[in-house]
Amino acid sequence: MFDLDTVLLTWDIAWEQSKADFLDELFEFYAPTNKCYTGLFKQYQKDLANFVRDYSRLDSTDARFGKPWLFPVPTIS
């Protein structure tokens, strides 16, 4: 059963704000023409995977290099 009091008591404001900030960064980066957040995370997942895969062959003017917090430089561990 859903208990709103429990949800509100355990609500992590900082975590929820960080998720909203991340979505705002995606919105700013992709600048969707329909002004909707729908599909941004899916596009981000695809672009991040391609960025990691193709990193060594990308042109340094690629816009993803300007957002290292969204597209971190891949490292071999």
Q: For 3-53, what is each residue's pLDDT tens digit?
A: 999 999 999 999 999 999 999 999 999 999 999 999 999 999 999 999 999
pLDDT at 1: 87
Question: Does 76 score more than 80 pLDDT?
Answer: no
Q: Is residue 73 very low, low, confident or very high in pLDDT (cuts 50, 70, 90)?
A: confident
Whether 72 maps to a domain, the answer reads yes
Whether 76 maps to a domain, the answer reads yes
Whether 66 maps to a domain, the answer reads yes
Whether 59 maps to a domain, the answer reads yes
Q: Is residue 75 very low, low, confident or very high in pLDDT (cuts 50, 70, 90)?
A: confident
Q: How far does CA 73 lie from the centroid of its chain?
A: 15
Of the candidates 54, 60, 59, the one whose C-alpha atom is nearest the C-alpha of residue 74 is 54
Range of the domain at 50: 35-77
Q: How far is CA 35 from CA 4, 29, 39, 68, in A?
A: 31, 12, 11, 24
